[in-house]
Structure 1
Amino acid sequence: MKRHCIDPRPGWQQIVEEQGVVYPLTRCPDGSLRPYWDESAYYSFTLPEVEALEEAVEELHALCLGAAAHIVEQNRFADLGITDPGLAALVAESWRRRAELPSIYGRFDLRYDGTGPAKMLEYNADTPTSLVEAASAQWFWMEERFPDGDQWNSLHERLVAAWKRQSALLPPGPVHFVHSDADELGEDLMTVAYLRETAEQAGLATEALSVEEIGWDRLSGRFVDERLRFIRSCFKLYPWEWLATDRFGPYVRDTLDNGGGTGTTCWIEPAWKMLLSNKALLAILWELHPGHPNLLPAYLDGPRELAEARGYVAKPLLGREGAGVTVHEPGDAPVVRDEACCYQELAPLPDFDGNHVVLGAWVVEDGAAGLGIRESAGLVTDEYARFLPHVIL
């Protein structure tokens, strides 16, 4: 694993915008615009490195599924902050019927520097983004800059195949692809548009919709789109913790299709993905598999020995893009926060020429499917991070 500087392609911004990355620049706190899609550098990997990462990702995914089963069997929903018995029951039923529910993709964030085992930082299995740049833009970049190279990237083919395989699980009618109008950058919009394209290539009928346009028909007791058509299946880039608790939450619960024809709306990703996108999963994984080479020590009741040993990171159970994450160096006085957190061992991101890098390893269905790389100036990968392409040389 190496970082290389390279001159960006002439007209790179227009190129990637035409490929779906309509958010190539990031506005920083000082008001300046800096590249989000950053092709002034790239990362190279050897094939054995990628093969080892693929193996680690698939093992981690299997461990996460095992942890989800443990949470349901031992009724540990409170550890995830799910204290409503009704919601817990729906999630549990979703898990038990998971073979009847479509589930498409997720993204692991990993610490890896090429010299040791990859370490799991978290798993976004509900609403992961950075998909368009990982699946599409970096592939075209490689074809242009390294026509004889290769890339850890089978995302597009695997997504199309996943929709084809799982189409039999979907109710009749089009699949509605939904994002929120609150998305100002266009990242959610393009992620959903890209996934909709892969579904259409798999032969599915689709419709685009915003969350804000979803209506409720009181007479039929069903969700409807802006043309008053029933929403029988819906891919939503909208977190389950919002969907289940906003003012439409009671209707979601009443009409949730958990498989077997028990409801009227099939949501993708399914409700059991709440078990994998919660940072409490990190602590439960460590409890079940202490010392596993791809896991970091993590706890829910406080940092324990981490405060004096290697330091720790406190993560809100449902935080995104680094929001609310605090870094505590070794020897700092341990702090137990008022909000529910996961306390994970500090594993500083690798520093490549002053850039801190995190690997986003994609999973489609149950298989490792590709890689996206983000860099940040600090130890926390936040909304100001940059996306860099990669190549296997």
Structure 2
Amino acid sequence: MRRAYGTPRPGWDKIIESQGLAYHRAAHPEGLSRPYWDESVHYVFSMAEVEELEAQVEELHEMCLRAAAHVVETGRFADFAIPGWAVEDVRRSWERRDPHLYGRFDLRYDGTGPAKLLEYNADTPTSLVESAVVQWFWLKDTHPDDDQWNSVHERLVDRWAAMALPPGPTHFAWTAMDETGEEAMTLAYLQETAEQAGRSTVAVAMEDVGWDDLNRRFSDVEERWIRSIFKLYPWEWMLADPFGRHAVRHGTWIEPLWKVLLSNKALLAVLWELYPGHPNLLPAYLDGPRDLTSYIVKPLLGREGASMRVVTPGGAHETPGEYGREGFVHQGFEALPEFDGQRPVLGAWVVADEAAGLGIRETTGLITDDTSSFVPHRIERS
């Protein structure tokens, strides 16, 4: 693994916009000198490194599924701040194995040892368009003889074709709260993969999803029955909404309700309990840092690196935010590796239950947040 430099393609911004990354200018806070998509640099891996990462990601995913089973079997829903009224619905969703589509592991990796799990974005992961599409075309344009860890698109299409969903169209829901366009473009891309798999689809705003109290079902603005629906609206938000009590019991939602067990950072502590000392895990506890001298405090339901606190013998660093009402997990802290002053975090994609590809974001800070840039990668052919 190494960081390499290159010359951006002429008109690179128009190229990536034509490929779906229309939100790259809005994805960053104002005032940053570095673009969100940065193809002046990229990471180079060997095939052996990628094969090792792929195996580790699939093992981590299996461990997470076993951890979810443990939570259901032992009734540890309170550790995940799941409302009492929704507990049995989460349990039934897991026991039914309601169909799931994809997720993204965030990993610490420097090429010299096993990857370390930072968190699992299992409910509403983004940076999908740049991972599945944009960096693939960058590779074809700039390094056509090399390869890339990237079968995301093909696996998504195959997964949609294999999923047992109710008859009728699958709705794809965005929310008016999306100010950057990232969610809309991510949904449009996923809708396209579903259509390539032969599914009929309908786009709908989450705010326009209605509840028919008489017939006990959800419908859209044209009064079509919503039998299955993909959303990038987190389950914890849905459980806090009045209609959440209907959502947990009616319709097929993707991602399914049981994903609340994998998208919650309490999962990190459960994994450490079940697999203490595992080479791909960092110590993590729900009741405090215990004997950790360097650790990071993460809100159970935090997003975009907000409301976190890094504590080391040299001091503490906090990020702003309003998360944390539900509680925190304390995870052992190992700084992201540094390459030319930048710190990459590897986003490893899982489609269904198989590792599918890689996206990399990097920043100069200790915590990867909305100021990070996405950079492509390639596998060097020997």
Question: Normalising by the residue count of structure 1, what TM-score does the alignment of the two structures yield?
Answer: 0.92
Residue in structure 1 matched with residue 307 of structure 2 by the alignment: 324
**How far apart are the structure 1 equivalents of 2:28 and 2:268?**
31
Residue 154 of structure 2 is aligned to residue 157 of structure 1 = yes
Q: CA deviation at 1:25?
A: 2.4
Q: CA deviation at 1:241?
A: 0.6
Residue in structure 2 matched with residue 301 of structure 1 by the alignment: 287
Give the secondary structure class of the aligned counterpart of 1:121: strand
Residue in structure 2 matched with residue 5 of structure 1 by the alignment: 5
Q: CA deviation at 1:338?
A: 7.4
CA pair 339-236 structure 1, distance change in 2 beyond 3 A = closer
Question: Which digits, 9 at most, give the CA deviation of each residue in 1:72-121, with x for residues without a partner?
Answer: 00000111111x332111001110110xx221100000000000100000
Alignment check: 8 A CA contact 1:223 1:265 kept: yes
**How far apart are the structure 2 equivalents of 1:163 and 1:250?**
27
Alignment check: 8 A CA contact 1:27 1:34 kept: no
**How far apart are the structure 2 equivalents of 1:95 and 1:30?**
42
Paired amino acid for 1:58: E
**How far apart are the structure 2 equivalents of 1:361 and 1:30?**
28
CA pair 189-26 structure 1, distance change in 2 beyond 3 A = closer
Q: CA deviation at 1:179?
A: 1.3
Alignment check: 8 A CA contact 1:374 1:387 kept: yes
Paired amino acid for 1:312: Y
Question: Which digits, 9 at most, give the CA deviation of each residue in 1:301-358, with x for residues without a partner?
Answer: 0011113xxx00000001111011111113659x9x8751010001101111111110
Within a 5 Å distance, the mapping from 1:99-110 to structure 2 comes to 101-110=98-107
222, 227, 249: which one aligns with 1:227 = 222
Q: CA deviation at 1:291?
A: 0.4
Alignment check: 8 A CA contact 2:29 2:371 kept: no
CA pair 376-346 structure 1, distance change in 2 beyond 3 A = same
Is 214-223 or 341-350 further displaced after alignment? 214-223
**Gap runs ≥5 in structure 1:** 257-263
**How far apart are the structure 1 equivalents of 2:225 and 2:31?**
44
Alignment check: 8 A CA contact 2:27 2:36 kept: no
Alignment check: 8 A CA contact 1:103 1:270 kept: yes
Q: Runs (4+) of structure 1 moved beyond 2 Å?
A: 25-34, 330-333
Within a 5 Å distance, the mapping from 1:1-393 to structure 2 comes to 1-26=1-26, 31-32=31-32, 34-82=34-82, 84-98=83-97, 101-166=98-163, 169-253=164-248, 256=249, 264-307=250-293, 311-330=294-313, 340-393=327-380
CA pair 338-96 structure 1, distance change in 2 beyond 3 A = closer
Residue in structure 2 matched with residue 261 of structure 1 by the alignment: none
**How far apart are the structure 1 equivalents of 2:155 and 2:208?**
30
Percent identity (aligned):
60
Q: CA deviation at 1:221?
A: 2.1
Question: Which digits, 9 at most, give the CA deviation of each residue in 1:225-283, with x for residues without a partner?
Answer: 01011111000111001112212122223xx2xxxxxxx41101110000000000000
**How far apart are the structure 2 equivalents of 1:144 and 1:31?**
30
Paired amino acid for 1:355: Q
Paired amino acid for 2:31: G
Question: Normalising by the residue count of structure 2, what TM-score does the alignment of the two structures yield?
Answer: 0.95
Give the secondary structure class of the aligned counterpart of 1:35: coil
**Gap runs ≥5 in structure 2:** 319-323
CA pair 127-27 structure 1, distance change in 2 beyond 3 A = closer
CA pair 29-201 structure 1, distance change in 2 beyond 3 A = closer
Give the secondary structure class of the aligned counterpart of 1:23: coil
Give the secondary structure class of the aligned counterpart of 1:203: coil
